[in-house]
Chains A and B, each alone.
Chain A
Amino acid sequence: MTTVKEREAIASEFAEKMNEDELLNCMRCGFCLPHCPTYIESGLKESYSPRGRIALMKAVTDGLIEPDEDVERSLSLCLGCRACEPVCPSGVKYGHLLEEARDIIHQNKDHSFPVKTIRKAVFSGLFPHQERMQNMTSLLGFYQRSGLQYIARKTGVLSMLPDHLATMEKVLPKVPTKSEMKKRPTDLPSIGPVLKKVAFFSGCLMDTMFLETNKATLKLLQLAGCEIVIPKSQACCGALHGHSGEKEGAKRLAKRNIEAFEADEVDYIITNAGGCGAFLIDYDHLLQDEPTWHERAIAFTNKLKDISEILVDLRFHEKTRLKLPAQTVTFQDSCHLRNVMNTSIAPRILLQAIEGIDFREMKDADRCCGSAGIYNIVESEMSMKILDTKMAHTKSTQADIVVTANPGCLLQMQLGIEREKMGDCTKAVHIADLLVEAAAL
């Protein structure tokens, strides 16, 4: 429930903070509608479309309507996949509008005690601290290795969880041990002549739960001719904060990262998680009101590149023989990689360069899989609808492997495979892991 006082506060901050030019830029042509997953899956509900959401934000800003629960519902149901942005002829920066609106709403709401506690634990207690992320992950590792997982599955305690969460438990990767996580090198030489010096953004989840993928990424970079530094003081990118209305938290993390990556002179900053990349590349927008930081943010974002882009640039796929047993492969775009970082061709070039694979494009590969950060947990109904459509498209390619480029998408696709009981014939992998396998490293 939102109280009258909260609504008033939210409304007045909308009027004060929302970018009026950007709201007016939406000329309501509706070109975004056929690209919005929530609009489609809701049976074409205008209030669940970008055009509708912008109209709502504008109406609150103009004082035409109150920011009631329905407004909040409409905004919270947005995946933030930003598929509406590249197709918007007017160039409306929808993602920025959404982030601002969510920030205003959350900062002015007096959340219930449990919600407050969880938000604080996640946003301030966990994600910004890599050490704690490692502890959390090793707890999962303990669960997986100690036999607890076996017992939990055997006794059926998991059936007390909602269906998709119980399934999620099954698809979580086998996590590394704490000592493995701690043994992170800080510098790696190039294999062969040095073509570029790069810094690696290791991420928080990627560097714990998906450590293997990070290792694979580093190997690929070395082989492509990159000398690598991994700044030790880097932090979580802040995407989760930014998307959940915790803008200040996101800003603090952004500053820490900018500082960490300024320490070394590098050509590029490499990411291997579409979601992080998209948030990092928006640091200049996040810090636009702080002139000194803004400059530094621009320098940072100008260097940012996804792993697949640099591999293609350095002609890794031409110089390295990539080969796998005969099988069919399809690619699921990471929304943020595609819609914000503008990377969609490079991963396809790399995959098609692998001998032995038959690359088949799935229908609507560019549509969100429904993962979207913690969306699949907090908005599970819509998320599962979106996932079901995605799995139908995946099935029709008869792919043996679904390749992804973001940890969230990877888990979601694994969840989809598990739900559809396709596990015997299909698996989901991160592109870096597949390339390492193909290069027989």
Chain B
Amino acid sequence: MALNVLWLQSGGCGGCSMSLLCADTTDFPALLRSNGIRLLWHPALSLAGEQDLIQLLERCLAGQLQLDALCIEGALLRGPQGTGRFHRLAGTGVAMTDWVRRLAGVAAHVVAVGSCAAWGGITTAGRNPTDACGLQYEDDQPGGLLGTDFRAGAGLPVINIAGCPTHPGWVLDTLMMLAAHQLTEEDLDPLGRPRFYADQLVHHACTRNEYYEYKASAAKPTDLGCLMENMGCKGTQAHADCNTRLWNGDGSCLRGGFACINCTAPGFQSPGHPFHITPKLAGIPIGLPVDMPKAWFVALASLSKSATPRRVKVNSHSDHVVLPPVARKTRLR
């Protein structure tokens, strides 16, 4: 029996769907089919639209069609004044929030694809003009559209595949685990994110790790040094595997030369400081690595700064390797 997946979009940019289509596979539909995933409807990939889609939604609601996974991409727009009229599903005149509430009531699993659907995401920035929220969170506060107590038919809370956009591998692994009945509550972190990627830190396997060790920090864009001290990098706090499971074959934010803004976390859109600058108190970055007491960080940083090899120091302020590692005799000593 295939996992019947329905994918709908609301207050987002469509980027999580576009990211999904970058999945690393030679035949996308075959990948889904061979893993027991059946897309009942997807906004970019289905022939049928309009009445066919609305009929399909009605059949799901009536229980005539088993809805195994309801995937929602984009924030849920509750405004103005709780009416949901900032997004009415075209052709229906009905607020998308109403459709999502009803469909979530019949789905075995509800999946938030991306940080918008998970927490509200970028759409909630500023004074949140549309009263946007996520499916089961409003920023880091549980609740959201469906409420704290919501459980989908199979018993799990909303599965939050957070990320802005989300990585195609995170989505496919999640759907494949659901299709294989292998995703349990223990596989979700306290924020409902699949642990296979949320138990990692972006800092892991960052190509700038040696610069981090010596606090040899970038001072401007294109510098090779670590981006934590000056350039706003939150990789030591961000839950994701972006530097071990690369993006688009070869990338990550850090490899692209710009800071990790912790896009898998609630509230990333409004960090309270400019994204590209590390806020500091008395010269010490406010956002320290997750499990590091401040005094240790200060002590280690001053120690490692005093021990920085010249090669690391010079290269950290260049856009390419100026001093290569010295070639030593290879004979064992």
| Same complex origin of A and B | no
Which residues of B does A touch, CB under 8 Å?
none
Which residues of A does B touch, CB under 8 Å?
none
